[in-house]
Amino acid sequence: MKTLSLRNLGKTYFDPYAGAHVTAVHDVSLDVEPGEFISVVGPSGCGKTTILNMIAGFIPYSKGDILLDGKPVHGPGPERGVVFQSFALFPWKTVLDNVGFGPKMRGVPKAERDRIAREYLALAGLSHAAHRYPNELSGGMQQRVGVVRALANNPDVLLMDEPFASVDAQTRMTLQEELTRIWQERKPTVIFITHDVAEAVFLANRVVVLSKGRVLDEIAVDLPRPRVWDDLVKDDRFKQLSARVLQMVRAA
Amino acid sequence: MNPMLQIWAGYTRLTRRWPGIAAVIPFIPVLALWTAVSEAGLFPRAFFPGPADVVRAFFTLTYKGILPDYLQDSLVRLATGAAVGMALGIPLGVLIGTSRWAHRICWPVLLFFQAIGDIAWLPILLIWFGFGLTTMTFVIVYTVLFPVVLNTVLGVESVPRDLSRAALSLGASRARVLWEVTLPGALPNIITGLRNGLGYGWRALIAVEMIVGTSGIGFMMFDARRAGSTVEILLGMIILGLLWYIVDAWILAPLERATGQRWGLVTS
């Protein structure tokens, strides 16, 4: 497991319509320990998705460094798995082949990558859907596939960009509980982008609040695990933390 | 119950069991009208033959071997042209669809040449290549090329960006992304392009065969005009329609549906 470090990270791009340079991310420094679950919250336009896209390597950064185990990262790579808000499953591949895609790119033989894919599908309770196509599944099931597809590739860091924003509220709570369970079993390093304060606090060890392209504050979340909504909605500590984060986000 | 409803219900059940019937039944009134007009003797037989005369001509020409030969010539020309058109069109479409610079440079040129219709090339082609296969192939390739390129570009551009990003962050190289994401994602559109291209190509082929052909269905029809044989002209027209119907309705349309709907890319 490796440490991810952002050092004075910044992003400025040229907007040809405005005819001016726009700074989306000013100066962000952050260290993520192996096995840590970090939530990044902030109002829209605070640069949280831009930061995630830079870590994923989808867009270049303008200043600073992104270091994975001390080595700078440029461009997308399998050591940084991504879970998309749009799910981004391959519609022409079965669920099994979607989850086996990462191992396939590594040259893992068919039988072995099917075994890996089945293991991860079982982890998300999706064994029955192995031979279905993504459009035959509900949104919640599609995103479960999206999560285990990224995990099956054994990334050093799992980057999640508002992954549960496009599913209904009940499904979202189930997915959040499942994610905390999977995280406890596998302990992947996770950076989770969201604008939902309760979600951020529910999932994370540490919540990073962003504002206008800068880190406003970091809050440690010392709530016990396993976390389930039935308990946490009644938990005073959870309410306190959520209220604190919410206050910061609204003031940001 | 209303007897019309009963007939309608019976027809629905019948066509569900044998879908082929649904394709045949609408032609019954057309055939009946044709027969009635020709049998009424409004026009001389040689000027306006009936369905029976055309069927007889079909068997005579088939027996002589002329029709099978001509049909084969036309289909081989179309298949060759379509294959070359696709071999050029799909890579070009992928290039234009994936590269912003290729798009900027090629798009205006493409639209310009698209406007110069297939037949408009014939005068210059006849001077360059003469009355022969090269001229015919050029026209077919030209006709097939544009729908294939334009639809491939559309298909490539319609593949969501997150899909390529997902593949890249799962460890795919650019080449693997092209093969695993871009091409399958664009496939339904590519097939639509091929379907349109073959349709245009089929029509262009007949026109070109009339002008430069020494064989083929188009040549047969034009040659029949010289001989004053309305029966063979009508036979040629029917074959054109029938053949296209079979290719389009039984092969291309199901293929298009199979890729698009199976993957949920086309909402229908």
List all residues 6 or more positions away from A96 whose beta carbon is below 8 Å from its beta carbon: A114, A117, A118, A121, A130, A131
Q: Using alpha carbons, select from B50, B33, B71, B37 the residue that is nearest to residue B230.
A: B50
Q: Per residue in A36-74, pLDDT tens? A: 999 999 888 888 899 999 999 999 999 999 999 889 998
User: Hey, which residues 76-95 in chain A have their CB within 8 Å of chain B?
Assistant: 76-78, 80-82, 84, 86, 88-92
Question: Nearest CB to B176: which of A77, A105, A149?
Answer: A105
The two structure tokens encoding residue A158: 């799992």
Strands in B106-234 per DSSP E = none
Contact B169 A78 (CB under 8 A): yes
B260 touches chain A (CB under 8 A): no
Cα B253 to Cα B193, B196, B246: the distances in Å are 12, 11, 10
Render pLDDT for A219-232 as a digit per residue (tens, 0 to 9).
999 988 889 999 88
> Cis ω on the peptide bond leading into residue A72 (within 30° of 0)?
no
Contact A77 B264 (CB under 8 A): no
What are the chain B neighbours of A102 within 8 Å (beta carbons)? 170-171
Q: A82-115, pLDDT tens digit by residue?
A: 999 999 999 999 999 999 999 999 999 999 999 9
Q: Pick the residue of A53, A90, A157 with the most B CBs within 10 A to test the interface with B by mutation.
A: A90
d(CA B135, CA B126) in angstroms, rounded, equals 7
Report the share of chain A in percent with pLDDT over 70.
100
pLDDT at B8: 87
Find the closest chain B residue to A59 by CA distance.
B165
State the nearest Cα–Cα gap between B165 and chain A, in angstroms. Answer: 7
Q: What is the pLDDT of residue A64?
A: 92
Interface test with A, best of B170, B181, B267 (most A CBs within 10 A): B170
**Global ipTM:** 0.92
At residue B268, the pLDDT reads 34
